[in-house]
A and B are shown apart, each in its own frame.
Chain A
Amino acid sequence: MNQRAAILSLITPAYLWLALTILLPLSAMLYYSFLSDVPIGNREVSWTTENYRTFFEKAFYSELMLRSFKLGAEVTSICLLLGFPCALALAKSIRGRTKEALFLLIILPFWSNALVRIFSWTMVLRGNGILEYSINWLLPGTGPLDLMFTYPAILLGLVHSYLPYMILTCYISIDAIDNQLLEAARSLGAGKLTILFRLIVPLALPGIVAGSFLIFIPVIGSFMEPRLLGGRNGTFIGTIIEDQFTAVFNWPLGAALSFIMMGLVLLILFGFSPLVRRLK
């Protein structure tokens, strides 16, 4: 009984904080999403479901939503393909000083302001920028790369921002795998690939799933990278939502689109939950 009181007193502040910082703004947004206009000054405002209907009536929005989910899936996959081997090497092969140095490099993107980071990419990628210049210096006659304001540029920027999440979550779960398991597998005759796919990947699945969601969710709502690196090619559901809040001043539509996106993400989460539960 005493223990329960202790636990309660420990978790209550955190839950109160969460309730205040997440639930309150969220309910405000939910409220907005059912309004016909922003309730400022003495505008006529009424209850409506039109904002939600708009999404289903105009193919434009669902196409954008799909495009964003595709972007999320691609960024997540690239992060997984790059991050998992990196985490594996960090956890099982590299030791001591080198490891510490590499960890610092990995979390370096976290240290810099996102806007600064993205603008640095524009310097690298733009026509006659650092990348084009260097490649043409190394291989004269390559000509312009035309990377700036393209879909690959967006991918590049997003992967750069989110790769550390994948490396860190995978590292934690790979590091927790007992080396004796891998040795046992070798003693039973298993080669490297068998060990990777029958042991390491299944045992690291919680980290892979966690990393994937940590990346997928913010990427589908991202607007800075698409806008700055994608230019005209950078229209996604995230940029549209941002427009509603900052440019068009249609908060209700922006809120409704956000909730639809959240609902879809929750659906995907539920789809994965049996898998996650099986992993405990």
Chain B
Amino acid sequence: MANVSVLNLSKNFGTTTALDRVSFQFEDGKFFALLGPSGSGKTTLLRMIAGFESPDQGSIHIGGKVVDHIPVEKRDIGMVFQNYALFPNMNVQANVGFGLRVRGISGSEMKRLVAEALELVRLSGFDNRQPDQLSGGQRQRVALARAIVTKPRVLLLDEPLSALDRTLRLEMEIELKRIQRDVGITTIFVTHDQEEALTMSDQIGILNEGQLVQHGSPVDIYENPQSVFVARFLGEANLLRGQADGKNVKLEIGGTVKTLSKPAYPQVICSIRPEKISIQKEQEVHRSNGNRVAGRVNEHIFNGTSLTYLVQCGNLVVKVFVQNLSGEVIPPNSSVHLFFRPEDTLVFPDA
């Protein structure tokens, strides 16, 4: 187990820039998610840490030592591939034992370690199955067992859950997190699914067009996005254009809102998360502090525990999440007021 750091990594494929000066510290024993849209360079970064790609620039350290010239097979990593990549000519035991055999561990010692790993992924007794006799979730577990049985210094996973259906995926998220905690291995998990990243990781790094645009704990990134891109990519955000004047922003859709910090630029975009907004019917308004925007309900989506309102404010549709506290639904076409706090009104420059 070890911490991993990447320094100033860049990689071009022909004219495509896959990675652009990425630096990051993956601390020992933590669970990291690399999150970003498709094509943002997540896989490239992961494969570079594994050693399958070599950077054009920059360097990679594992356990404090430079590994730039160490080939994959000597890096002592564990990797789980999107399509599991189980060896079809070997049964479960041989698959999981492969890395041990390569390291000269065989016989009863190998069997013991394999059994331990299979128990960890809750697949005891599956030793003699062939990969094609397993379900998707089971293959995933075998792939995981195979990757961790050698006690690698770092575990790398490239969208390992994306081939599973939703129920199985949620189950595997919990399992994976439990296993990671049990083993205490530094884990780097690549995903384009923000929910996966938020629920599983200790730290998230967000990639966009080859650049690491922000990193931090899930709560930190969610509450304090540094750019419109991050605000929209992680969670949902209502974006309202406006003109800044001191700590006030005059919105294009009408009305003025306050922000906590004073924007340094005149043209701004305010970002407000749907769940930070409360909604009240116009005739029942009993609150006046904080920011307020008027609108009209277009429609609502009821899903039991919560309600989503789509509210027309000027030429913009604002999304509002409300907990289903009262069991009461505001009907379409009602005039409403939306309230949100200045500290939840984040401002970004309008590019």
Contact = CB atoms under 8 A, between A and B. Distances in A.
Contacts of A189: 73-74, 76, 99, 102-103, 150
A62 interface: no
A100 interface: no
Chain B: interface residue count, which band? 20 to 34
A184 B83 CA distance: 11
A199 B103 contact: no
A188 B73 CA distance: 6
A178 interface: yes
Nearest to B103: A189
A209 interface: no
Contacts of A199: 87, 89
Contacts of B50: 187
Nearest to B52: A183
B72 interface: yes
B51 to A, nearest CB: 8
Given A189-B102, A189-B103, A202-B89, A184 B150 contact: no
A190 B98 contact: yes
A110 B93 CA distance: 45
A24 B134 CA distance: 47
Contact of A180 (B83, B98, B156): B83
A184 B79 contact: yes
Interface string B37-76: 0000000000000101000000000000000000111101
Majority secondary structure of chain A interface residues (helix, strand, loop or mixed): helix
Contacts of A180: 81, 83, 85
Interface string A114-129: 0000000000000000
Interface in B103-136: 103
Contacts of B73: 186-191
Given A199-B89, A203-B88, A188 B81 contact: no
Contacts of A183: 52, 72, 79, 81, 85
B77 interface: yes
A185 interface: yes
Contacts of B83: 178, 180
Nearest to B79: A187
Given A199-B89, A203-B88, A184 B81 contact: yes
Q: Which of B77, B83, B85, B103 has most chain A Cβ within 10 Å?
A: B85
Interface string A229-247: 0000000000000000000
Nearest to A205: B89
A104 interface: no
A58 to B, nearest CB: 46
A189 B71 CA distance: 10
Contacts of A184: 79, 81, 85, 87, 146
B77 A187 contact: yes
B135 to A, nearest CB: 19
Contacts of B74: 189
B36 interface: no
Nearest to A203: B89
Given A184-B81, A189-B74, A189-B76, 19 more contacts: A181-B87, A181-B88, A183-B72, A183-B85, A184-B87, A187-B72, A187-B73, A187-B156, A188-B150, A189-B73, A189-B99, A189-B103, A189-B150, A190-B98, A190-B99, A190-B102, A194-B102, A199-B89, A203-B89
25 contacts: A178-B83, A180-B81, A180-B85, A181-B87, A181-B88, A183-B72, A184-B85, A184-B87, A184-B146, A185-B98, A186-B52, A186-B71, A187-B73, A188-B73, A188-B78, A188-B99, A189-B73, A189-B74, A189-B76, A190-B99, A191-B73, A191-B102, A199-B87, A199-B89, A202-B89
Interface of B: 50, 52, 71-74, 76-79, 81, 83, 85, 87-89, 98-99, 102-103, 146-147, 150, 156
